[in-house]
Amino acid sequence: MAGAGSTAQDAAAVAVCMVATVPAGLRWLRVAQREHYLADAASRFALRWWTSTPLNFLLLVIGAAGLVLASRWPLAALATALVMALGPVGLGLRGRTSPLAWTRRLRTLTWVWALLQGAVVAVGVELGGGPVAAAAGALAAPALMDAACVITAPIERRIARRYVARAAQRLARVRPRVVAITGSYGKTTTKGYVAHLLSGSLSVVASPASFNNRAGLARTVNQHLADGTEVLVAEMGTYGPGEIAELVGWLHPEISVITAIGPVHLERFGTEDAIVEAKSEILRGAGVAVLGTDDNRLAAVADRCELEGKQVWRVSEHNADSDVCVEDTGTELRVWVGGQKLADATVDARALNLGCAVAVALSVGVGADVVATRLATLPTVAHRLELAPTAQGRCAVIDDTYNSNPAGARAALEALARLTPAEGRRVVVTPGMVELGPRQRPENTRFAGDAVRVADNLVIVGRTNRRALLRGAYEAGGESKTVVVDTRDQAVAWVRNRLHEGDVALFENDLPDHYP
């Protein structure tokens, strides 16, 4: 009878652990999809979440203890199962900003992950340690998700090649002039400006949203590139060396743009010099290079391009003798081309990005007078220093929630100071900046210090950068100005309850809710 009871306990422990992996799997599937199926994403975020609060760390300890004790008492695995089903606390099954989209790729990943989970349990049962294996499988769900990403990556590359081949054929038939744009930041903004300046004279297709990888650009060509299109504007992003080189290998840009270099994705590249080299892959084969040469590293790239025989447009925010200079005076943008003033534009735009767009427009043959005219109707890019309309009695909101970076954050604080009436209150709401590698902590510390010098309050959202932001605020003497909340909804409620007409709230960055 004792043997039968032990067997029943083993079976119960295994069954409950396997059921618990279902909600755990949904969480890590969401993280994997949001992080573009990178092989280490689930494990990295699992570490962040389980160490984000004392409660989550305690739950992790309980789950690990259940695993250890399961070898002696099978039902101890139930503690692991319960922890994995419920935690980490705060990482929901359904996201506010990043809900699961059941694409073919995600379904494939789900099946492979489920097979790995099943294999771990099956081997454990075969060896007589079913409860231990089931508990270990539940605890290791993020690592097994990463393993599934590694296994499915070659399959996805092979499938993507078919779409790329079809896109290359379509490009060869339509034969548009291709403008390729990259940079650590400013890519999407510059793309929007280029499309606007060209569209009055040419038929233009721009890659939608942030469709800036192989799959997104192939989809852009296959679904949006109609016969008669004269210019394709393609934004290109990268997580590592070789990715942009692969894109230009089939897109064949005529004009390539590098807007700026900064520490975005530094945790993957290691150094900013490595970022320069990876971004410079966009110049291969292009006859025209447009570069933001206020950065000495890009100035060196410009010199190199010139030696290679490329036509080079040097773009600056300060040097009016550059090929293109856009100077922000605080009240207007002064646009210079070849040392001659082209126009004064009373628009709210990123100067360097606009300068790159002007260089592209002139390079493809749009007349200077046409460019000057279209500057007056330059669109605002969504979620990038966008002044949101407000109801009567409510404060104004500057929406700068997309992909914050150190340079953009500084510009946002300047905009907050410029746009707030003298008697109005200024508030900065932020979770801080991410993907900056070893510079993430000091950059967030610096930003918080700058924010409390400019604003009346700094509202810190979430835990990802909380310590760094608090340190920056305290070192700048802004401890009394600092408010800490757990979620963006709480921050919005705080702003609504305390700010009124004449006040301005800057929302700087909005991390997806798979971040703690």
Residues 312 and 267 in one domain: yes
Give mean pLDDT, residues 374-401: 75
Residues 353 and 275 in one domain: yes
Whole-number pLDDT of residue 360: 97
End-of-domain residue from the set 375, 400, 427:
375
Is 29 in contact with 42 (CB distance < 8 Å)? Answer: no
456-482: pLDDT as tens digits: 999 999 999 999 999 999 999 999 999
Instruction: Flag whether 224 is in a domain.
Output: yes
Residues 371 and 390 in one domain: no
Whole-number pLDDT of residue 383: 60
282-320: pLDDT as tens digits: 999 999 999 999 999 999 999 999 999 999 999 999 888
Whole-number pLDDT of residue 437: 84
Residues 468 and 355 in one domain: no
Residues 235 and 355 in one domain: yes
Whole-number pLDDT of residue 2: 44
Q: What angle do CA 381, 382, 387 make, to 5 degrees?
A: 95
Residues 391 and 362 in one domain: no
Instruction: Flag whether 36 is in a domain.
Output: yes
Stretch (H or E) spanning 46 = helix 41-50
The residue behind tokens 């092989």 is 39
Asked if residue 391 has pLDDT above 80, the reply is no
End-of-domain residue from the set 375, 401, 423:
375
Q: How many CA atoms lie within 13 A of 245 on its CB side?
A: 7
Whole-number pLDDT of residue 443: 94
Instruction: Flag whether 455 is in a domain.
Output: yes
Instruction: Give residues with Cβ within 8 angstroms of 456, minimum separation 6.
Output: 425, 426, 427, 481
Residues 369 and 439 in one domain: no
Instruction: Flag whether 161 is in a domain.
Output: no
State the pTM of this model.
0.84
Cα-flanking dihedrals φ and ψ of residue 243, to 5°? -70, -45
Whole-number pLDDT of residue 1: 38
Asked if residue 205 has pLDDT above 80, the reply is yes
Q: What angle do CA 130, 131, 137 make, to 5 degrees?
A: 90
Quick count: other Cβ atoms within 10 Å of Cβ 399? Answer: 19
Residues 371 and 392 in one domain: no
Token pair for residue 440?
């993430």
Residues 224 and 140 in one domain: no
For residue 455, the Cα-to-chain-centroid distance in whole angstroms is 26
Instruction: Flag whether 170 is in a domain.
Output: no
Asked if residue 392 has pLDDT above 80, the reply is no
- Split into its structural domains, the chain has a count of 3
What's the CATH number where 203 sits? Answer: 3.40.1190.10
Nearest CA among 407, 389, 351, 454 for reference residue 398: 389
Instruction: Flag whether 415 is in a domain.
Output: yes
Whole-number pLDDT of residue 92: 86
Is 270 in contact with 439 (CB distance < 8 Å)? Answer: no
Instruction: Flag whether 516 is in a domain.
Output: no
End-of-domain residue from the set 121, 155, 189:
155
Per DSSP, the three-state class of 456 is: coil
Asked if residue 395 has pLDDT above 90, the reply is no
Nearest CA among 363, 367, 370, 334 for reference residue 351: 334
Residues 186 and 318 in one domain: yes
Token pair for residue 274?
């490595």
Residues 352 and 487 in one domain: no
Domain holding 486, by residue range, is: 386-508
What's the CATH number where 462 sits? Answer: 3.90.190.20
Give 386's pLDDT tier (boundaries 50, 70, 90).
Answer: low
Greatest CA separation found in the chain?
95
Whole-number pLDDT of residue 86: 92
Instruction: Flag whether 515 is in a domain.
Output: no
Cα-flanking dihedrals φ and ψ of residue 265, to 5°? 65, 25
Query: What is the distance between the alpha carbons of residues 462 and 111, in angstroms, rounded to a whole number?
Result: 33
Asked if residue 370 has pLDDT above 60, the reply is yes
Residues 108 and 202 in one domain: no
157-179: pLDDT as tens digits: 999 899 999 999 999 999 999 99
Give mean pLDDT, residues 23-30: 94
